[in-house]
Amino acid sequence: MAPGKIQVKPGPVVWLCVMVLVYLVMVYRGWLRGKEKEAENAWEESPIWQEDLKNHKNPHSFSYLLNPKDTICGQEEVDLLILVTSSLTHSDRRLAIRETWGRQQDKVKMLFLLGNTETHDEALEEEIKTENENYNDILREDFLDSYQNLTLKTLGGVKWGAIFCAQAHFVMKTDDDMYVNVPLLRTHLQTEYSGVSRVITGCVKNGPGGAPQPLAPHGVPFKSVHPLFTAGAGYVLSGDLLEPLYRASLDIRLVRVEDAFLTGYCARKVGDVKKHHNPHFSCGELVDRDCRMSTSYTGHKITPDRMRIVHGKISKGLC
């Protein structure tokens, strides 16, 4: 020690002050993390999410395995939210959609709906994880991903839309083997249904003026057991129907025919829902010519390669 300098050692009071300061910093950081987590999960306080905790005949109480939350719609104005039902292994179809008709467009949002596997598949899980990290457009719920559970998948999309994208003017439900002419469809919706409430449009089944009915062997149309509904390959509902349809689904016996359940039974329970048939929506028939999609809203059973061909022709004005 240098001459004339006195070494002062920290006393108990100093150490106590340091410990208190460290404690306060830790508490503050914990409080911040708690606030961030609270804000992140604020949607769980949504009346729609809370409704599934109540006693219902058919609660949709499945946990989220993947949830993009507010990153899809946020506070933006949304003209059209497109919900695409897809199977876990159909990553090629989802990629083709993203690269063609589902490419980012102003005021149009898209979400793919997936379920879960019966047994864990490490390779598949890694593939879906990477896909979600790249695009963040997947909603995945914890029920078995199967054709029989298509109704659950669609209801999951409707519930998500009601919580995270309630501002959408229109909501479309379609499948991952469909081609959708989004610009043409938007123009139609804005022209015909701007400001119209409680409307569903698509290929209407089981009604006069709608899709042709299948015939029995003796030539008489089959009598449908379902109320008037729109074909699930691609239909559009006004955004104000998201919450009412979802709430109606909670107390109706589940029907595995997805389109009949939502646009038929649930719409009937909601009441005062207008259904409009439009021949530009696919009723299930195959697209015979690529350029037919330049004047149609939806086309059925389009492979990923053909999606790219069709989109290329329309984009280049070759149709």
Amino acid letter, 301: K
Tens digits of per-residue pLDDT, 117-151?
A: 999 999 999 999 999 999 999 999 999 999 999 99
Examine residue 16 and state whether it is found in any structural domain, yes or no: no
Q: Answer yes or no: is 209 within a domain.
A: yes
* Residue 221, strand partner residues: 215
| pLDDT per residue as tens digits for the range 90-126 | 999 999 999 999 999 999 999 999 999 999 999 999 9
The residue whose two tokens read 């469809």 is 185
CATH number, domain of 130, equals 3.90.550.50
Structure tokens at 261: 């359940």
Q: Which of 10-14, 111-115, 271-275 has the lowest mean pLDDT?
A: 10-14
* Whether pLDDT at 235 is above 60: yes
Q: Pick from 196, 188, 142: which is nearest to 169 by CA? A: 196
Q: What is the mean pLDDT of the chain?
A: 86
> How many domains is the chain built from?
1
* 107, 80 Cβ separation under 8 angstroms: yes
* pLDDT tens for each residue of 31-82: 444 434 444 577 778 888 888 888 899 899 999 999 999 999 999 999 999 9
* Residue 317 pLDDT level (bands cut at 50, 70, 90): very high
Q: How much is the average pLDDT of 285-308?
A: 95
Element (H, E) at 109: strand 108-116
Quick check: is 31 in a domain? no
Which pLDDT score is estimated for 9?
A: 56
What per-residue confidence (pLDDT) applies to 18?
62
What residues pair up with 230 in beta bridges, in sequence order?
Answer: 204
Q: Note whether residue 86 is domain-resident.
A: yes
| 287 vs 219: CA distance, rounded Å | 26
Q: Is the pLDDT of residue 168 over 90?
A: yes
Angle at 70 between CA 147 and CA 254, to 5 degrees: 30
Rounded to an integer, the average pLDDT of 189-214 is 81
Give the residues across from 273 on adjacent strands. none
Flag the least confident range among 169-178, 221-230, 283-292: 221-230
Per the domain annotation, does 258 fall within a domain?
yes
Cβ-contact 138, 111 below 8 angstroms: yes
Q: How many residues does the chain have?
A: 319
Task: Please identify which residue in the block is written with the tokens 């609270």.
Answer: 38
Cα 113 from chain centroid (whole Å): 6
The token duo for 211 is: 């899709």
pLDDT, average across residues 185-193:
96
Q: Which domain holds residue 249?
A: 46-315
**In the structure, what pLDDT confidence band is assigned to residue 285 with cuts at 50, 70 and 90?**
confident
The answer to whether residue 175 is domain-embedded is: yes
In sequence order, the 6+-apart residues with CB closer than 8 A to the CB of 45 are none
**Is 218 within the bounds of a domain?**
yes
**103 assigned to some structural domain:** yes
Question: Is 82 within 8 Å of 179 (Cβ atoms)?
Answer: no
